[in-house]
Structures are given as C-alpha cells and as structure tokens.
Structure 1
Amino acid sequence: MAKRPCPSQNPRVDNLNDVERLLDAFLSLSDLPSLSLDLSFERLLHSLPPDSDLIDRALKMGSLLLDAAKHSSRKRASNHNSLAWPLPPDLTIKVFSMLDTQSLCYASATCSLFSKCAKDPLCYANLDLTTLVPKVNNAVVATMIQRAGKALRSLKLGVVPGATTLGSCPPFVCTIRHSIVEVSNFSWNDKRSRQGRESSILTRCCLSPLSGDGGAPGALLRKLHLYNIERMDNASLSVALSACPSLLDLEIVGL
C-alpha cells in the first residue's frame, strides 16, 4: 500500500505556496509610485503581441484581489467587533428586541456579530411594519413573521397616512378576550372613506404566515394593528384572526 504523501510532497500544497509567495512579492509593489507601475505595465504590454489579453487579465486579477481584500477586511472587522463589543449575546439580543423593526434591520447589516444576534426570534417579538408610503410587500411580512416564529406578540402592518388625513378615516378598535371578532358586517370595498389615501401594495394574503408552521406565529399574538390594507377581504381576515387565539388588542384603520 502506497504511503500518503506528506504536505510538502503534495503538488497542490506546493502550488498554493508558490501562489502565496508570488502574491506577497506582487503586493510589495504597492509601495512603488503609481507612475512606475504604469510605465512597467505599458512596457510589458508593448512587448507582447497586439492581440494579447494582458489588459483583460490585469482587470480580472485586480477585481479578484479587491474582492479578496474586502472579504478579509470584513472578517477582521467582525473579529474586532466580537472582542470590542461589551455585551454578551443574551444582553445584545435583549437590546435588539427593544429596537423598532427598521433599526433592527439596519443593525443586522452592520457586521456578522450583530447579524447573528439579530437572528434570534425574540428580536422580532414586536413587529412594526407600518410605513408612510407603500413599500412593504407580502414577502417582507412573511420573512419577518417567520423570523419571529412563536415569539411573535405584536404586529403592526399597513400604510399609516399623515396626521392631516388620519382624521378622515377613524379607526375601528376592538378588545378581544378569548374570542374571534365577527367581521362579516364590515365593508372592505367602500372607497368613500379612502379618498386622498395611499393605496397599499399588500394583498389579502399578507397575514397568511400567521397560520404557517402549524399556527405557531399566531398562537401567542396579542396585538394586531392593520392600517389601510385595501385588498384585504372578510374571508382572509377571518382566517387570520382564527390563527390568533390569544389576541387581546385588534385595531383596524381604513374600513
């Protein structure tokens, strides 16, 4: 039986070592004046046939080096943040759970440390996806509800108009205790109360994720506020409410 070659006898390892040495020598040229590099590149280009792809290869190599450097920079910054951040993960998650949903998303995109903490369902227990203009769709709602899972306690959704137009559309507020509200008497198609108001891009299926995963997301939901979701209908709302047996606070604006 042939012996397994040691790392020094592995052609792939030797090749990688050669690449590292060549890369180290190449990067040492970064201390040279840019004019020297320009002249050297021009001389090399003129020494090759006119149809040479040297320029394309140089651009590709520059792009690869830039991507590798950015990746390493992010990794180094992440390691630094892990050491410098004063709070342990459990307290970081607690702080994140106090942020509004938009700020939480911004924090999650800051670094891998925050991104990891922001994946905890407790951070999404109280979702506020309301906006002044329509820019939240069903996919965003589904993603956020899935992140919250059974930790979801409060959900605010829809388009909240400015204070000047809110008065023309009084809210319907209902307190529920261990019962499902009857919505069959309300008309969702009456446009008279919606004049001058932005149209929502949310559809009647926007609350369907509450019934997903065996009904876990809606099981412990206590507060549900819906604002100006024009495409919602009685049947879809009834299905959504039936998935929320613990609901205590229901507010619907835009009937």
Structure 2
Amino acid sequence: MDSPTNTTTQNPSSVPGTVPGFNHSHAIISSLLSFPNSSPISIGSSFDRELDKALASASGDVSAQDSLVDRTLQLASLLLDSTKRCFRKRASVHNFSTWFLPPELTIKVFSMLDTKSLMQAAACCTMFNSCAMDRSSYAHIDLTTATRQADSGVVCVMIHRAGKELRSLKLGRVARSDGSDSTPSLLNGSFLSPLSYNHGFLGSRLRSLRLYNIRPINYTSFIEVLSVCSNLTDLRISGLKFPGMLLFKKLTEKCRLIENLCLEAYQVPGTTDTNAGSPLIDFVTNSYNLTSLTLISYRLTDGLALNLAESSSKLKYLNLSRSPTLNGRFLRDLGHSCKESSLETLIMRNCYYLQEKEVLELCNSLIKGKFKSIRHIDVSSNSGILSNNGARIYKPKLPLEKLKEERSDVTFVADFPLVRSGKRYRVCDEGAEEELREIEMMEANNVGGSEDESDDEEFDDDEDTSNGTGEDDSEGDLEF
C-alpha cells in the first residue's frame, strides 16, 4: 500500500539558499506592483488609511511611531530609486536599438568633440556615457573651452582616461583676458606630469601639444616633459614668457619628428642674432620633417631670419609676424638666394620697422622670375610701412599689378589700413583668438596639418583674413 503523500508546506527559511522572509517580501512587492488601476487620489487615500492604522497601533510609543515613519520613507525611496533604474535601463535599451550609429562610429564622433562637450554628452544617457568612457573618445583632449573648470587634477584624469590612445592635447585660454576677466590659470607646474609616468609611455603617444596663455608655466618642468614626447609632430605655445634657446636645443635632441612649430612669445629680452640663435638654426637644420615654422613677437635680426629661411630643405611656411626688430633687409637677399627653396608662404604681419624699399626689392625679384617656389606673401600692418625718408606711410608704391601679371601664381598681400577706414588687423601686441585661428588656417591651407589633427580643425573666415580611461574608473565623472 502506497504511503500517504506529505502535503505539509516547507518553511521558506529552511530552503537552502533562501533568505528568511524573502518570499514574503517578494509577494508583498508583487502585490503592490499588481495593484488595480485606480485614480491617484484613491491609491493615496488607501496608503493614508493603512499608515494611520499602523501609527494608531503604536499610539503609546512615540519612538515606535517615528521609526515606522522613517521606515516607510526609506521603503518609498527604495521603490522610487528602483523604478528610476528600471526606467534608465529601458531607455538605454531603446537608445541602443534606435541610435543609427554603431558604437565604434559614435566613439569616433565623440573623439572629435572638445572635452567639455564630451562630458556633457556623457551625462545624456547610459549609452552615451558608455561610449564617452571609451579610451578612444579621449584621443584628442581639448580643454580650451573649459578653462574655468580645468585644473591640474582634471588634466591628469583626462590623460589617464586616454591612456595609450592619447594623440593630442590642447590646454589654456585661447583668447587672452581683456582685463574684465582676470581669473588666473588653474594649471600649475605639474599638469603635464602624467606624460612622464612609466618612463614616458603616455608622452611617447602624443602627436600634438598646444598650450595657450598658461601663466605662469614651470619652464624647467615643461622642458623635461618634452624630453619624453619623442613622437611629437605639432607643437604650439601661445604666451611663452622668456623663451630661451634651451627649448630649441631640447627639441633638436628629443623631438626630431616635428612638422609644425608655432611659438608666440611676450617679454622677450634683447635681440636674437645669428650667434645667439644658433640652437634655433640647429633645430631648423636638423628637423628634416619641419614644414611650418611660426615665431610671433620674436626679436630676430634680419640675418637670423635669412638663415631660418635657408636652413631647412622642407620648410614651406614661415611666419615672423609682430617682430619688433626686423626691417626686411633679408627680403632682398631672400629673393636672390632662394633658388632651390621650398618656401611657399611667408607672413610678416605687423612688423613695425618693415621698410618699403626692402619690400619693393622683393617684388622686383619676383617679377624677374626669381624665388620660384613662393606662392603667398603677406606684409600687411596696422601701423603702415616705413618709407625711404623714415616717414610712416599707408599707401606704398609697390608694383603689385605688374607682379600679378608676371607672376599670377603668387598672392602678395600688402594692406596698410588707415584707422579711419575701420579695417584693422587683429595681429596686435596683446594677441587675439582671431590671430591664432588665422595662423592655423593659413598653415592648413598652405601646408596641411598633421594626420591626427586634420579632421578636428575648424576655422572662421572673416573679412580680416588675408592670408583616458585608466585601469579602473575610480576617478568618477567630471562636470564642466
């Protein structure tokens, strides 16, 4: 005879792996979620009645009532948080299914954003956050639009997030303060130190480094960082104080792949002649990939300027604007001596002591068919040009029409606007974002940027233009 079937219900707490009360809690939550569809007022009234009953049952114990209210608030908060998490998960699944770009292309797009915009995109949704945390999204770090928030700690975090994907780094304030905003730079001397970690592994990944008006900058520390950036091809520093020849010496030793060098200095003591500037000449001579050289506000002699133009076999773009010492004597020699030169663009805007006779001599050399490589020359100035008798004139007698007939392949810009004309070149002593954009635009048009940067650059045309994630995510999210 078969034994009778045991119909006794097993205690949930005795089931291996089951937390006591779990099934009971699950049943209550399931019952709550399956609550009949009623008006919010009706549901709220039901909650009020049940809570009042519970409080009434403990009417004699105030602490028990307080505990009950606190516990109810905690449960309600947990339910709200859980609901929000479920909502975000559903929204994330929806975004992944409806977003028209695959993750790899989304990451590529994100890598083209400035870092502030990237952080804002990361806060939009879980899907964007996932793509924004990818190392490749930080390949090109641009913190020039977040100067009020980007301190040394933020820069270090971004460099670590990029890791081995790091290719370019832009820091500082592109547009200088006009006096109304005197906020000091949040960057100190150690903001580039992560590039030197692990024997300079991250520094060796860097291709482009651009620093704008970071003052004061620890010159010694910066030189040491350059020592590990052996694969640097693009270096631009605006607002460099007292740029010594040690910089060019270090570049010659450690950064032999430089293609584009742009230095804009201020408060340069003394005039740099050929002897004093020999490290600069050595750099130009030994940098076999150098195609673009910009030295703004450098006190150069004409002899040194001529040596620079003649020293490089690949130099196509030379910008010596705002030099307070050049008179243009090297221009006549340039027209006669550069027979095999590769120089295509020469910019000398706002050179205060530039002389009319020297520019005229260059024009005549071009008309005679010399200096065959040149394609673009700009000697425009807000302050006019010095005539033969030393007077400052705004309408020099230059044979530009004849030059245009004889050398249609050459664009010669010699614009000296009067103050009353309303047109003023923004290449001034204080500098401006407009000037830097013009410099980059001219270089891009005449030389072409480095491969990693070519897709990032945007320039504004206006009427004045003539010319990483670490090994862990402990850093948390940064807000800009």
TM range (shorter): 0.7 to 0.9
Structure 1 vs Structure 2 CA RMSD: 2.8
Give the conservation status (yes or no) of the 8 Å contact 1:133–1:198: no
**Alignment partner, residue 52 of structure 2:** 42
Give distance in 2, aligned partners of 1:83 and 1:195. Answer: 48
Give distance in 2, aligned partners of 1:223 and 1:44. Answer: 68
Q: Which amino acid aligns with 2:165?
A: A
**Alignment partner, residue 138 of structure 2:** 124
Closer, same or farther: CA 92–132 of 1 in aligned 2, 3 Å: closer
Give the conservation status (yes or no) of the 8 Å contact 2:116–2:146: no
Give the conservation status (yes or no) of the 8 Å contact 2:114–2:145: no
Give distance in 2, aligned partners of 1:226 and 1:19. Answer: 59
SS of the residue 1:135 aligns to: coil
Structure 1 residue 196, shift from structure 2 partner:
6.6
Structure 1 residue 38, shift from structure 2 partner:
1.8
When the two structures are superposed, what TM-score results if normalisation uses the length of structure 2?
0.42
* Among 175, 183, 188, the residue aligned to 1:203: 188
1:214 equivalent to 2:204? Answer: no
Structure 1 residue 13, shift from structure 2 partner:
5.8
Give the conservation status (yes or no) of the 8 Å contact 1:134–1:199: no
Structure 1 residue 120, shift from structure 2 partner:
2.5
**Alignment partner, residue 119 of structure 2:** 105
**Alignment partner, residue 18 of structure 2:** 12
Instruction: Give unpaired runs (5+ residues) of structure 1.
Output: 1-6, 166-193
Give the conservation status (yes or no) of the 8 Å contact 1:149–1:216: no
**Alignment partner, residue 261 of structure 2:** none
Closer, same or farther: CA 76–132 of 1 in aligned 2, 3 Å: closer
Which structure dedicates a bigger proportion of its chain to helix? Answer: 1
When the two structures are superposed, what TM-score results if normalisation uses the length of structure 1?
0.75
* Among 193, 208, 217, the residue aligned to 1:232: 217
Residue-by-residue CA offset, 1:123-153 (whole Å, 9 max, x unaligned): 1121111146532111111111112223222
Give the conservation status (yes or no) of the 8 Å contact 2:172–2:211: yes
Identity of aligned residues (%): 44
Structure 1 residue 65, shift from structure 2 partner:
1.4
SS of the residue 2:81 aligns to: helix
**Alignment partner, residue 396 of structure 2:** none
1:139 equivalent to 2:153? Answer: yes
**Alignment partner, residue 77 of structure 2:** 63
Give the conservation status (yes or no) of the 8 Å contact 1:161–1:197: no
Closer, same or farther: CA 153–132 of 1 in aligned 2, 3 Å: closer
Closer, same or farther: CA 61–196 of 1 in aligned 2, 3 Å: closer
Q: Which amino acid aligns with 1:78?
A: S
Report matched runs for 1:149-168 at 5 Å: 149-161=163-175, 165=178
Give the conservation status (yes or no) of the 8 Å contact 1:199–1:228: no
**Alignment partner, residue 29 of structure 2:** 23
8-17 or 42-51: which moved more?
A: 8-17
Give distance in 1, aligned partners of 2:17 and 2:139. Answer: 54
Structure 1 residue 22, shift from structure 2 partner:
0.7
Q: Which amino acid aligns with 1:235?
A: T
Closer, same or farther: CA 115–213 of 1 in aligned 2, 3 Å: farther
Structure 1 residue 204, shift from structure 2 partner:
0.1
Q: Which amino acid aligns with 2:26?
A: E
Give the conservation status (yes or no) of the 8 Å contact 2:116–2:145: no
Give distance in 2, aligned partners of 1:84 and 1:155. Answer: 33
Structure 1 residue 249, shift from structure 2 partner:
2.5
Q: Which amino acid aligns with 1:76?
A: R
Give the conservation status (yes or no) of the 8 Å contact 2:143–2:170: yes
Q: Which structure's relative contact order is higher, taking Cα pairs within 8 Å and 6+ residues apart? A: 1
Query: How many residues end up aligned between the 2 structures?
Result: 221
Closer, same or farther: CA 132–25 of 1 in aligned 2, 3 Å: closer
Residue-by-residue CA offset, 1:188-215 (whole Å, 9 max, x unaligned): xxxxxx9974311111000011112432
* Among 199, 208, 229, the residue aligned to 1:244: 229
